[in-house]
Amino acid sequence: MATNPHPIPQFPAGFQWGVSTSAHQIEGAASRREPSVWDAFTDTPGRVKDGSTAAVACDHYHRYAEDVALLRELGVGAYRFSVSWPRVQSTGGLDFYDRLVDELCAAGVRPVPTLFHWDLPLSLEEAGGWLNRGTAERFAEYVAVVVERLGDRVHQWITLNEPAEHTLLGHALGTHAPGRQLMFDALPAAHHQLLAHGLAVRALRAAGVADIGIANSHGPTWPASEEPADLEAAGFYDLLLNQLFADPLLLGRYPEGIDALMPGEPGDIEADLKVISEPVDWYGINYYAPTRVGAPQGSEIEFGGVTMPAELPFSVREIEGRPVTDFGWPVVPEGLTELLTGFAERYGDRLPPVVITENGCSYEGIDDQERIAYLDGHIRALHRAMEAGVDVRGYFVWSLLDNFEWAEGYARRFGLVHVDFETLERTPKASYGWLRDVLRAQG
């Protein structure tokens, strides 16, 4: 896969360029916070492929100044990180984010915190976690505490990261923490996360915040064939990954057939949807790849690091004829154009400006030409969607650093900066220098 020799087209002035990370994946300093569901999960043998934990990770908690210097050198305008709820619960936990935000502001990098990126405090999990409606209320209380402390310097906020993946992997299939295997009984966890999002929007508004978004995981669903059984299965997958998480926010309703699976009486759901559809200022999308989906094949399948049980009403298939990343995910830049134009079509003027809150790939090595080709292709695909009329305001690369890649442990490297997990030494990769040059050319 060769990188396009032509320069990347010019993006509008004010377009937000950034990189993303999350607390549990980089911070370490596990003894300086309450335990989270991910600590319990990684302590259970067999859950994380290389048996590793995030107790130290990139040790960003102690090395944040070095990492902010890397951001400044890279020339990004914004940094998306996440606030660890279990850290905020422990004495002095907010002091860390206070220091980080100060450091970012001094470096001229805009802080864009995500308030929940999968690391639920274990104490809340023990009270039912996201299956318990009360967790949504606890979340809004925590959000109020965080914005009270950081709101004088932080103006742009993200409520949740990928409730879709947290529901699917964490609660339906159990390959991520908290490791529940509830299949379709996991849907209340989706509802309560969405409710938590809406309540958080209200808490942030009450604190005077005017720049709020969410980071939802989306991708086009490609049917395996035009056969009715494949089309039906693909339609259902699309509903679960895309519509289930975008419709309630943007249209104030669940897709048909799903509302019946949600907790509570229909009247309660209606009232919750009013909260969930509180207007956001922009809609964040994490994009990695499209998914090929067909009718169920009656057997378990391994896909993209996940085992899909046989009883699902669909099966995920391979996308052929494409380069794949180390993770096995296909590289399909035009899927991003297709996703964005499809969103603009489906949601029309209900769709606020869009920000790509994550896009990236896992490859080994410091001379990471494949990552350059991936990013180059996706940035051009994004520009094409904008030319087609989609209002996109920002693009964040996942990720600044190689980090703890959840159930894969340290085996997958998504960073622009290489991390040696023995010495914790940071080494900028070729893609880091490439992105710095792209950003300079953008002005």
Distances (CA, A) of 124 to 85, 101, 175: 11, 27, 20
277 binds ligand GBH (CB under 6 A): no
Binding mask 402-431 for ligand GBH (x = CB under 6 A): ---x--------x-----------------
Of the candidates 251, 161, 274, 275, which has an alpha carbon nearest to the alpha carbon of residue 214? 161
303 binds ligand GBH (CB under 6 A): yes
Per CB under 6 A, which region of 92-100, 158-166, 199-207, 259-267 contacts ligand GBH?
A: 158-166
- At residue 360, the 3 state secondary structure works out as coil
Per CB under 6 A, which region of 46-54, 200-208, 283-291, 416-424 contacts ligand GBH?
A: 283-291
Give catalytic status of residue 358 as yes or no.
yes
288 binds ligand GBH (CB under 6 A): yes
Nearer to ligand GBH, 11 or 414 (CB): 414
Nearer to ligand GBH, 139 or 398 (CB): 398
Distance separating alpha carbons of residues 183 and 345, to the nearest angstrom: 31
- Give the shortest CB-200-to-ligand GBH separation in angstroms: 17
Paired residues of 114 in beta bridges: 82, 158
Active-site residue identified among 27, 103, 125, 358: 358
| 25: amino acid identity, one letter | Q
Q: How far apart are the first and last CA of the chain?
A: 27
301 binds ligand GBH (CB under 6 A): no
DSSP for residue 407:
G
Nearer to ligand GBH, 22 or 277 (CB): 22
Question: Token pair of 36, please?
Answer: 């989270």
Phi then psi dihedrals of residue 185, to 5 deg: -70, 0
Give, as ranges, the residues between 323 and 352 that touch ligand GBH (CB under 6 A).
Answer: 328-330
DSSP for residue 382:
H
Measured in whole angstroms, the distance separating CA 333 from the mean position of its chain's CA atoms is 18
291 binds ligand GBH (CB under 6 A): yes
According to CB under 6 A, which one of 159, 161, 193, 221 is a site residue for ligand GBH? 161
Nearer to ligand GBH, 138 or 413 (CB): 413
- Give the shortest CB-286-to-ligand GBH separation in angstroms: 6
CA neighbours within 13 Å on the CB side: how many for 314? 26
Of the candidates 117, 235, 350, 172, which has an alpha carbon nearest to the alpha carbon of residue 243? 235
Question: Token pair of 406, please?
Answer: 């959840």
39 binds ligand GBH (CB under 6 A): no
Nearer to ligand GBH, 135 or 291 (CB): 291
289 binds ligand GBH (CB under 6 A): yes
Of the candidates 133, 154, 131, which has an alpha carbon nearest to the alpha carbon of residue 143? 154
Q: Does 6 count as an annotated binding residue?
A: no
- Give the shortest CB-271-to-ligand GBH separation in angstroms: 30
Residue 66 CB neighbour total at 10 angstroms: 12
Binding mask 363-402 for ligand GBH (x = CB under 6 A): -----------------------------------x----
Question: Token pair of 212, please?
Answer: 């709020």
Angle at 275 between CA 270 and CA 279, to 5 degrees: 120
Nearer to ligand GBH, 277 or 357 (CB): 357
Measured in whole angstroms, the distance separating CA 200 from the mean position of its chain's CA atoms is 17
Distance separating alpha carbons of residues 116 and 103, to the nearest angstrom: 22
Active-site residue identified among 34, 162, 338, 370: 162
Nearer to ligand GBH, 23 or 269 (CB): 23
Nearer to ligand GBH, 33 or 412 (CB): 412
- Give the shortest CB-61-to-ligand GBH separation in angstroms: 18
Of the candidates 429, 345, 439, which has an alpha carbon nearest to the alpha carbon of residue 396? 439
Question: Do residues 246 and 315 touch, judged by C-beta distance below 8 A?
Answer: no
According to CB under 6 A, which one of 36, 84, 216, 217 is a site residue for ligand GBH? 217
- Give the shortest CB-291-to-ligand GBH separation in angstroms: 5
Number of residues near ligand GBH (by CB under 6 A)? 18
Q: Does 288 count as an annotated binding residue?
A: yes
Helix ranges (H only) for 332-393 are 334-347, 369-387
Of the candidates 146, 242, 240, 135, which has an alpha carbon nearest to the alpha carbon of residue 193? 135
Q: Does 406 count as an annotated binding residue?
A: yes
Q: By beta-carbon distance, which residue lies closest to ligand GBH?
A: 304
Residue 7 CB neighbour total at 10 angstroms: 8
Residue 45: cis peptide before it, omega within 30 degrees of 0: no
Return the active site residues.
162, 358
Q: Which residues are annotated as a binding site for substrate?
A: 25, 117, 161, 288, 398, 405-406
Q: Which residues are annotated as a binding site?
A: 25, 117, 161, 288, 398, 405-406
> Where along the sequence are the contacts to ligand GBH (CB under 6 A)?
22, 161-162, 165, 217, 286, 288-289, 291, 303-304, 328-330, 358, 398, 405, 414
